[in-house]
Structure 1
Amino acid sequence: MKYRRTLGIAVATVALGMVSVPQAFAADHSMETKDTMFPGEDAAGRMEFTEHGDIVKVCDTDADGDAAYLTVFDGSRDGPKLYWIRAGGEGNCTTVRASMGGKYNLPEHNIHFLICRGDDQLHAGYCNGATWHNDN
């Protein structure tokens, strides 16, 4: 009898622990920039955008000596630049979010993202861009 009660408590504890584990939230949008213009090349950088909380993350995904740069524009690629962030060194990421205030609290309309690979923001190449509607 004592064994069953102990076993029941152990099973209930494990089950409760599994239920209360927080789930990771996937980004609403993501894209990569390549090492070169040739198809099939590995990604040099990756960005993710989660609308709820305006969470923007850029990561350097290749040990190529360059960094990943992400520029965020209001409305379209021709709109005003809101900010840019950088991640350098394979596996390193930079994350900003609306809770940081100011420029990181994005407007609730179209936002254009441009991710590039380069040795600095002015000499970046191999870019990839997308416009997504921010409505959260």
Structure 2
Amino acid sequence: MLKLRRPAKRTVLRAGAVLVAAVALPVLASPSAQAIDWDHTMHTDDADPGGRLRFEALGDIVQICDIEADGWAVEVEVYDTVHGYDVDVFSVGGNGNCVDHDVDDGHNLVEGRYYRFTVSLVHSGGLNQYHDYATWKA
């Protein structure tokens, strides 16, 4: 007659730890797709806007998106109204493409200071048109 042996307590605990790790690891490793509740949004000033600018003060996130296949890129200028200079200028082209600049990329805006945000369309020849701008508090 075959006699079954009871597993040692240490073996059971080790198997339980492996099972817990196998279940928890994929959850912990998955990127968090945290939605941003944008403080401000504006679009280029053309009849069928081709560009969008969004700003979130928490984290100093400035995002621009090319939202129309029109052959124009979208550009943003962030202007410091206190010291009188551009603190950030960047662009993106290609329908559906977006670019973010934030505090983690070295684009820290001074809390409580007002900045002028200008969004425009840029043609391949370098001509900026369809500007829209607003002054927002960081």
TM-score by length of 2: 0.70
Q: Which structure's CA Rg is the greater one?
A: 2
Quick check: 1:69–1:121 contact (8 Å CA) kept in 2?
Answer: no
Report the counterpart of residue 108 of structure 2 in structure 1.
105
Q: 2:123 aligns with which of 96, 106, 119?
A: 119
- Map of 2:89 onto structure 1: 84
| In 1: Cα distance, 2:125 partner to 2:109 partner | 21
2:40 equivalent among 18, 22, 29: 29
How much identity, in percent, do the aligned residues show?
36
SS in 1 for 2:116: strand
**Aligned-partner SS, 1:49:** strand
Amino acid at match of 1:106: L
**What is the CA–CA distance in structure 1 between the aligned matches of 2:125 and 2:81, rounded to whole Å?**
21
Deviation track 1:96-132 (CA, whole Å, cap 9, x = no partner) reads 110112xx10122001100001125952011000000
Partner of 2:137: 133
Residue 94 (structure 1) aligns with: 99
Judged with a 3 Å threshold, the aligned counterparts in structure 2 of structure 1 residues 72 and 60 are, in CA distance, closer, same or farther, namely same
Runs of 4+ residues over 3 Å off in structure 1: none
Q: When the two structures are aligned, how many residues end up with a matched partner?
A: 107
CA RMSD of aligned residues (A): 2.3
**Which consecutive residues of structure 1, in runs of 5 or more, have no partner in the other structure?**
1-20, 36-40
Unmatched runs of 5 consecutive residues or more in structure 2: 1-31
With the length of structure 1 as denominator, give the TM-score of the two structures. 0.71
CA distance in 2, matches of 1:80, 1:62: 30
Match of 1:47 in 2: 53
Mean Cα deviation higher: 125-134 or 78-87: 78-87
